[in-house]
Structure 1
Amino acid sequence: MVVDDSVVIRGLLGRWVESDPALSLVASHRNGKLAVDDIERSNPDVVVLDIEMPEMDGLTALPLMLRKKRDLVVLMASTLTRRNAEVSLRALSLGAQDYIPKPETSSEVTTSLDFRRELIDKVKALGARHRGTRGPAGGARPMRAETGAGRTAVADALGRPVQPAAPRVGAYGKPAALLTTKPYSAVRPRVLAIGSSTGGPQALQQLMREIGTAIRQVPVVVTQHMPPTFTAILAEHLGKAALRPSKEAENGEILQPGNIYVAPGGRHLVVDKEGGQAIARLTDDAPVNFCKPAVDPLFDSVAKVFGSATLAVVLTGMGHDGAAGVKTISAGGGSIIAQDEATSVVWGMPGAAAQTGLCSDILPLAEIGPKIARILSGGIR
């Protein structure tokens, strides 16, 4: 179902959906009220929901849709304004699975191949998860920003039960039960590096709530696939969750223990060493794994600076960004934790990391925070 007040956008998105043999357009509406009234009749698996619409906007319609169909997958669509970024992140906390940044004009939407690919990739990946089938979780290409509602091992933001995807097969075909792990580093971590994408904002907030008191001795560097404006707001939310200073990283600043640094949208965040201190570097290099910021450059850089004192985490997300960096961190003696399939919105990135056989743990989201806290405090691994 496509819900947008622009007839041009509705028609365009509908044609894109219908042109894919794996998808079918069941309904198209100009406002949230019409969409809510039609949920039970059309029974969509996925709704692409605009934010700003007359009569009933997307944020108002979202909980009403989810009450009518509790397992509905909702993908919010919004332009890159601060208000829309705030609303999109709010929607994730209310049960939306993800969002997609929409070009500001109809003409830009029409000509944006990236937007079309990202939209179709996300609809297919999230829809496949919803239906318990294997979609493009590992193979789909994340084009720009990917984020979404994180899940716990028990329920999502609306209390809806979360079931493991079936069959439980890794992103590149190895059964989850056969995945191998390696021991944790014996060296106490001096940095915590986190990579995430689809489902990341909610997962990150849960994680930060659980480890806020444990990160006083280490800086935390985060790459979440997101565009500009969104990353600044995400940093604010993470700071509130952890009760620690949190901001977008700035080029050349010293990484202070107990602080959270988020890669700004459109720039890669890497860690460098200068005068014996770890500093943040922002680069304008080409996208990596079709993403900017990307996780691999961050992971490669922390492995170079911190070696065996690196602790990294790969959370929910589409694609395989971070898997190459996992190999670099492991080669340097560091440790990696990957989120498990059952609690990931999309088990692409963590699945690819797990498939390397180099992670020290593959854990449900609810267990990652306590594990990190124990490791950072020098406790038993």
Structure 2
Amino acid sequence: MAGPRIRVLICDDSIVIRRLITDVLKADAEIEVVGTAVNGKNALDKLAMLKPDIMTLDVEMPVMDGLEALVELRRRDKKLPVIMFSTLTERGAGATLDALERGASDYVTKPANVGSVSESMEAVRSQLIPKIKSLTGRAPMPPKRARPAFGGEPPRGPAAPGAPGAPSAGGPITTAGRTGKVDVVAIGVSTGGPDALTTVISHLPGSLPVPIVVTQHMPPVFTQLFAQRLDTKSALHVVEARNGEPVTPGKVLIAPGDYHMRFKRSGDTVTAVTDQGPQENYCRPAVDPMFRSAAEVYGGNVLAVIMTGMGQDGHRGAEPILRAGGALLVQDEATSVVWGMPGAAVAAGLPCDIIPLPQLAEAIASRASSGRGTISRSRGA
């Protein structure tokens, strides 16, 4: 076995859930459950003795609930990864979004309407174990490729044909032929996304002359509440996309949970198309189908952005955007909660600029406004 096992502390007031999580994690040779706690205070009291690498935390508990415990934990320890356990309800989603704003790293939804213990265990296993390994740096990462000799944060060169992660078809992708014009900004993001998206979207000007479309890996209910929260913090109008929703400047469309978001053009009008097509990269919504559709509808006038997230969703969908003459920005490793999705794009050799989170809004606004005059509009138009 490579390295020590990942030490996990489980905090939940339900003995059934504590046992379920324990049994799921004990089946993985890389993970060790070092303790359990029945409420937030109990968990905080055990931290110094157990020294976990990561912690799971229920939201609703007696004595001290998950949100109270998280706030106190972050006073003591800014870096310990925390995964919230949430219910697929409006109340559960709202509390989870509160937790993410207060420093939680990610969340897992509790099994709902599952007919057997084995199905419940599989539902938890499929979500929880990959997140534990990603947040503790144990998930396999794509190999890093050397930077070309450009100044600043340079575009990355294409991978050699046939190399691992090389573009799948159509020959090398180069930066040649780009006009620089942007008609839409398409953002893909996962783990760490709510906080990172809030940072970016809240700093974009209301005069941004192009629409923004976003796929954030989130289940139903969560996407609607997240869009509503983000709308209150942004000069742009943020909505959960509906089928037929116009894609217009001044608006940010969030792909709805359990639906892919694609696009359709009729003359000068572009609308969102939502569908429940097959999962891609084990996700729905997924970034790849959104990126592919953006390339089909907008050609090379797409600015793709891949932000923090586990897995590799986005880099294959970015290929047709780049082949058409579009551009790609990726969030840098230092400011990403998990550098899986951005790292996969870099490892694949896709030409891109690597931008720290605090500079992403400025980079997006600059690219989107290049060659255009800013426009005035009333919010919500």
CA 1:105–1:284: 2 relative to 1, 3 Å: closer
Task: Give the 3 Å change call, closer, same or farther, for CA 278–92 of structure 1 in structure 2.
Answer: same
Determine if contact 1:205/1:237 at 8 Å carries over to the other structure: no
Task: Tell me how far apart the structure 2 counterparts of residues 109 and 277 of structure 1 sit (CA, whole Å).
Answer: 49
Higher share in helix: 1
SS in 1 for 2:206: helix
Report if the CA contact (8 A) 1:9-1:106 is conserved: no
SS of the counterpart of 2:246? coil
The whole-number CA distance in structure 2 between the counterparts of 1:188 and 1:275 is: 19
Equivalent runs, 1:1-381 vs 2, <5 Å: 1-104=9-112, 110-112=118-120, 113-128=122-137, 135-136=138-139, 171-175=141-145, 177=147, 180-181=156-157, 183=175, 185-215=178-208, 217-378=209-370
Alpha-carbon displacement from aligned partner over 1:330-365 (angstroms, at most 9, x marks no partner) = 111111101111111111111111223233301111
Q: For 1:315 and 1:204, locate their aligned partners in 2 and report how far apart those are by CA, in whole Å.
A: 9
Alpha-carbon distance change, 19 to 203 in structure 1, aligned in 2, over 3 angstroms: same
Q: Give, as a single letter, the amino acid of the residue that structure 2 aligns with 1:281.
A: V
Please give the alpha-carbon distance, in whole angstroms, between the structure 2 residues aligned to 1:259 and 1:174. 35
- Superposition TM-score, scaled by structure 1 size: 0.85
Partner secondary structure for residue 312 of structure 1: strand
Q: Distance in 2 between matches of 1:105 and 1:44?
A: 31
Q: Say which SS state the counterpart of residue 31 (structure 2) adopts.
A: coil
How far did residue 183 of structure 1 move? 4.2
Q: Which runs of 5+ in 1 are unaligned?
A: 129-134, 140-170
What's the TM-score, normalizing by structure 2? 0.85
Moved more, 272-281 or 192-201: 272-281
How far residue 214 of structure 1 moved from its aligned partner, in angstroms, is 4.8
Query: 2:250 corresponds to which letter in structure 1?
Result: G
1:106, distance to aligned residue in structure 2 (A): 8.1
Residue type at the aligned position of 2:67:
L
Contact 2:287 2:314 in 1 (8 A): yes
Rg (Cα) greater in structure: 2
The whole-number CA distance in structure 2 between the counterparts of 1:86 and 1:33 is: 22
The C-alpha deviation readout for 1:6-56, integer Å capped at 9, x for no partner, is 111101211222221111111101111111111111111111000011121
Q: CA deviation at 1:213?
A: 3.0
Counterpart secondary structure, 1:24:
strand
Letter in 2 for 1:263: A
Distance 1:106 1:228, change over 3 A: closer
Deviation at 1:241, TM superposition (A): 2.6
Letter in 2 for 1:188: K
Number of positions where the alignment pairs a residue of Structure 1 with one of Structure 2: 340
Distance (Å, rounded) in 2 between the aligned partners of 1:235 and 1:176 = 38
Residue 176 of structure 1: how far off its partner (Å): 5.7
Mapped to 2, the partners of 1:368 and 1:225 lie a distance apart of 20
Cα distance change on mapping 1:176 and 1:110 into 2, 3 Å: farther
Q: Which amino acid aligns with 2:193?
A: G
8 Å contact kept, 1:8–1:106: no
Cα RMSD of the aligned pairs, angstroms, is: 2.0
Q: Distance in 2 between matches of 1:294 and 1:274?
A: 24
Moved more, 367-376 or 307-316: 367-376
Cα distance change, pair 317–309 in 1 and its aligned pair in 2 (3 A): same
Change (3 A) 1:106 1:263: closer
Gapped regions of structure 2 (runs ≥ 5)? 1-8, 149-154, 158-173, 373-381
**Distance in 1, Cα, partners of 2:102 & 2:214:** 23
Structure 1 residues 27 and 364, CA gap change in structure 2 (3 angstroms):
same
Query: How far did residue 294 of structure 1 move?
Result: 0.3
CA distance change for structure 1 residues 108 and 312 in 2, over 3 Å: closer, same or farther? farther
Equivalent residue for 2:151? none
Secondary structure class of the residue paired with 1:351: helix
Q: Distance in 2 between matches of 1:121 and 1:45?
A: 15
Post-superposition CA distance 1:157-198 (Å, at most 9, x none):
xxxxxxxxxxxxxx4212464682564932321101000000
Give the superposition deviation at 1:369.
Answer: 1.2
Report the Cα offset of residue 210 of structure 1. Answer: 1.8
1:221: how far off?
Answer: 0.6
**Percentage of matched positions with identical amino acids:** 42
